[in-house]
């Protein structure tokens, strides 16, 4: 479904990411593990078209998308729930969700239907639908960010560190919902530092260090790997 | 008492014009985070085009205004495409210098093409009416009514339509807007189109009671900056409320303090607001 072939990204003369090869098959949950600054977010930004690769190709469903703009890529069916959430803070929860459905704006019924679906996944958002997004707690904002991304009905959803800064109980709920979204037919590419929780739900994973992939394998392989256990699980 | 009411109505008139100009300025600020110094030049061009359409082509006032809205709006779009878009990655000071450059260019153009003389704009609404013992000209009533109608239409557009709310979304988080599939280039062009159109409406409405000349935008744009600083940079309600606050202060100040110091009032307000509440009345946290 999505493949990155020898992708490199530069910020000015600084190479943030190099020789990245990733393969995501339809229906999977794939996790990118790595510490802060390892290059996970840069890879996500590049897939979404916010950064352009300086070398290599990004292919989605067989088509090259590396020269496409960010808004076109959303139309192709890649939705990103970005680092820092990037909500519209002064808009209400419901307005944020409606904006999430922007690419389907001409199909009113579809938007209404998606909205109900998101409220089903996150009942708290329905309760707070008339509150400003900026007034929500961190966990609720993360739910809203995921909900907003779902509104575009992506085939592939990129989730950049959804567990960051959240209480353990909320993290658990978050991963349950991610799994549910995947079961409903959305392929998921997840960036995480919380390897323990992420590998439990993932099919396979890649480990990032200093801007490139140092290790890849199935979740079981990575979970059993000593290096991964030492660096990301702490056991 | 009659003088007071008369002056309050004058304040409402001036305030309406100020609010329209400040709205265009605040919309562009919200999107690009640059103070568009060239906005006053769009106001001036709007005034000249309406005047030219009426005097040279003999068109009706309303037809002339519609042409003026289109031309000034397109000039705004052209500004965005040719100047601000190529500078989007540049340090912010470049935008500001470029905006001043556009302003000087358009003023020089107006002086070259239409001459430096002051021109008066004819209006079909010159008659004087008496309402509740007040003496009002139809033109002033027209300014207030049209401004309120334009503001209501703008509100409905920004709040109730998908296209309009992209402007709001982009002003709150540009990348977030991009990631829900909004084409931020198109939104920037749309914003400049609306901004130029608002400037043309304001200039065409107020020109019959003021005059048309190449420097007509200068004082207006300075005051519009005071208004959006007063109301909070990028805030839409702030621009409207700020516009009327300035309009009332000026007309009351001119009557009860001194007409000679009328134009200073805006800048006294600026000093006070920057001392007391530098973020403005309707500041949006974050920026």
ipTM summary value:
0.91
Query: CA angle, corner B172, sides to B168 and B177, nearest 5?
Result: 80
Residues of A whose CB is below 8 A from B166: 99, 102
**Largest separation between any pair of C-alpha atoms in chain A:** 52
Which domain covers residue A193, as residue numbers?
1-77+156-162+188-235
Residue A105 lies in a domain: no
DSSP 8-state secondary structure symbol assigned to residue B82: I
Q: Which residue of A has its CA nearest to B187?
A: A71
pLDDT given at position B285: 47
Task: Report the number of distinct structural domains present in chain A.
Answer: 1
Name the stretches of chain A with pLDDT < 50: none
Q: Residue B172 is nearest to which of A85, A90, A149, comparing CB atoms?
A: A90
A177 is a domain residue: no
Cite the beta strand spans of chain A per DSSP E: 2-11, 14-24, 29-33, 55-60, 63-64, 78-81, 156-160, 187-192, 204-209, 212-218
The answer to the question of residue A52 being in a domain is: yes
Q: Does A107 touch chain B (CB under 8 A)?
A: no
- The verdict on residue B276 lying in a domain is no
Chain B residues with beta carbon closer than 8 angstroms to that of A111: none
Distance in angstroms (rounded) separating the CA atoms of residues B280 and B277 = 6
> Is A46 a domain residue?
yes
Sign of CA dihedral A23, A24, A26, A29: positive
Cβ atoms within 10 A of the Cβ of B259, count?
9
What residues 125-144 of chain A have any CB closer than 8 A to a CB of chain B? 134
Question: Does A71 sit within 8 Å of B182, measured CB to CB?
Answer: yes
- Rounded to 10 deg, the angle between the B184-206 and B2-32 helix axes is 160
User: Is residue A231 domain-resident?
Assistant: yes
- Is A49 part of a structural domain of the chain? yes
User: What residues does A5 pair with on adjacent strands?
Assistant: A57
Kindly state whether residue B268 falls inside one of the protein's structural domains: no
Report d(CA A58, CA A43) in Å as an integer.
10
- Residues in B 170-209 with any Cβ partner in A closer than 8 A: 172-173, 175-184
Nearest to B168 among A91, A100, A148 (CB): A91
List the helix and strand counts (H, then E) for chain B: 11, 2
Q: Does A23 reside within a domain? A: yes
A157: closest chain B residue by CA:
B179
Contact A99 B165 (CB under 8 A): yes
CATH code at A53?
A: 3.40.50.300
Comparing CB atoms, the residue among B179, B184, B286 nearest residue A89 is: B286
Q: Is B52 inside any structural domain? A: yes
For the segment A13-26, what is each residue's pLDDT rounded down to a tens digit?
A: 899 999 999 999 99
Position A65 in a domain: yes
The encoded tokens of residue A140 equal: 């609720």
Strand ranges (E), A86-182: 156-160
Q: How far is the C-alpha of B42 from the C-alpha of B103, rounded, in Å?
A: 8
Asked whether residue B255 is domain-assigned, the answer is no
Q: Helix (H, G, I), strand (E, B), or coil: what is residue B253?
A: helix
CB-based contact A30:A206 (threshold 8 Å): yes
Please report residues of A whose CB lies closer than 8 A to that of B159.
Answer: none
B58: left (phi over 0), alpha (psi -120 to 50) or beta: left
Task: For residue A142, give the nearest of A178, A186, A112 by alpha carbon.
Answer: A178
Q: Report pTM.
A: 0.90
The number of helices, as runs of H, and strands, as runs of E, in chain A is: 10, 10
Whether residues B166 and A70 touch (CB distance < 8 A) is answered with no
Each residue of A206-223: b (16+ CB within 10 Å) or e? bbbeebbbebbeebeebb
Instruction: Provide the pLDDT for residue A12.
Output: 86
Residue B75 domain flag: yes
Does the residue B163 lie in any domain?
Answer: yes
Residue from A99, A112, A154 whose CB has the most chain B CBs within 10 Å, to mutate: A99
B70-74: list long-range contacts, CB under 8 Å, 24+ apart: B70/B197, B71/B45, B71/B46, B71/B200, B72/B42, B72/B45, B72/B46, B72/B196, B72/B197, B72/B199, B72/B200, B73/B192, B73/B193, B73/B194, B73/B195, B73/B196, B73/B197, B73/B200, B74/B193, B74/B196
**pLDDT in tens for each of the 287 residues of chain B?**
778 888 999 999 999 999 999 999 999 998 888 889 999 999 999 999 999 999 999 999 999 999 999 999 999 999 999 999 999 888 889 999 999 999 999 999 999 999 999 999 988 888 888 887 788 889 999 999 999 999 999 999 999 999 999 999 999 999 999 999 999 999 999 999 999 999 999 999 999 999 999 999 999 999 999 999 999 888 999 999 999 999 999 999 988 888 888 888 888 988 998 898 888 888 764 43
Range of the domain at B122: 20-216
Rounded CA separation B246/B210 (Å): 17
């Amino acid at each position: 479904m999505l493949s990155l072939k020898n992708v490199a990204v530069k910020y000015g003369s600084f190479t943030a990411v190099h020789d990245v090869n990733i393969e995501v098959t339809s229906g999977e949950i794939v996790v990118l593990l790595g510490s802060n600054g390892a290059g996970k977010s840069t890879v996500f930004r590049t897939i979404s078209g916010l950064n352009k690769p300086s070398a290599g190709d990004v292919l989605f469903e067989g088509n090259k998308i590396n020269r496409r703009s960010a808004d076109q890529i959303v139309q192709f069916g890649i939705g990103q729930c970005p680092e820092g959430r990037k909500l519209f803070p002064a808009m209400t929860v419901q307005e944020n969700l409606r904006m999430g459905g922007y690419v389907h704006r001409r199909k009113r019924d579809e938007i209404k239907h998606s909205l109900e679906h998101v409220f089903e996944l996150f009942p708290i958002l329905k309760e707070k639908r008339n509150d400003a997004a900026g007034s929500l707690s961190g966990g609720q904002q993360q739910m809203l960010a995921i909900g907003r991304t779902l509104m575009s009905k992506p085939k592939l959803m990129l989730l950049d560190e959804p567990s960051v800064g959240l209480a353990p109980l909320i993290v658990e709920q978050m991963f349950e919902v991610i799994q549910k979204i995947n079961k409903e037919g959305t392929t998921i590419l997840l960036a995480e530092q919380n390897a323990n929780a992420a590998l439990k739900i993932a099919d396979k994973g890649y480990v990032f260090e200093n801007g490139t992939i140092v290790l890849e394998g199935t979740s079981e392989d990575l979970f059993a790997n000593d290096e991964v256990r030492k660096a990301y699980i702490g056991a | 008492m009659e003088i007071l009411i008369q002056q309050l109505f004058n304040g409402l008139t001036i305030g309406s014009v100020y609010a329209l100009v400040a709205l265009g300025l605040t919309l562009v600020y919200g999107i690009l985070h640059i103070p568009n110094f060239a906005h006053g030049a769009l106001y001036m061009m709007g005034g000249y085009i309406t005047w030219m359409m009426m005097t040279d082509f003999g068109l009706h006032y309303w037809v002339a205004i519609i042409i003026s809205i289109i031309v000034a709006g397109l000039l705004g779009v052209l500004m965005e495409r040719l100047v601000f878009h190529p500078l989007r990655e540049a340090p912010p000071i470049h935008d500001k210098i470029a905006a001043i450059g556009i302003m000087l260019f358009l003023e020089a153009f107006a002086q070259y093409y239409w001459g430096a003389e002051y021109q008066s704009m004819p209006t079909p609404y010159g008659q004087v009416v008496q309402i509740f013992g007040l003496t009002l000209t139809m033109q002033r009533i027209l300014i207030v009514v049209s401004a309120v109608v334009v503001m209501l239409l703008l509100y409905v557009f920004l709040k109730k339509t998908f296209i309009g709310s992209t402007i709001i979304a982009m002003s709150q988080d540009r990348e977030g807007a991009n990631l829900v599939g909004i084409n931020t280039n198109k939104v920037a062009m749309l914003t400049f189109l609306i901004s130029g159109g608002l400037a043309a409406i304001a200039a065409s409405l107020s020109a019959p009671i003021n005059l048309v000349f190449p420097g007509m935008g200068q004082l207006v744009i300075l005051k519009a900056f005071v208004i959006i600083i007063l109301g909070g940079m990028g805030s839409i309600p702030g621009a409207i409320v700020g516009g009327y606050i300035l309009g009332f202060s000026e007309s009351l100040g001119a009557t009860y303090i001194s007409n000679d110091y009328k134009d200073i009032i805006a800048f006294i307000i600026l000093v006070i607001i920057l001392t007391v509440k530098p973020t403005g009345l309707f500041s949006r946290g974050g920026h």
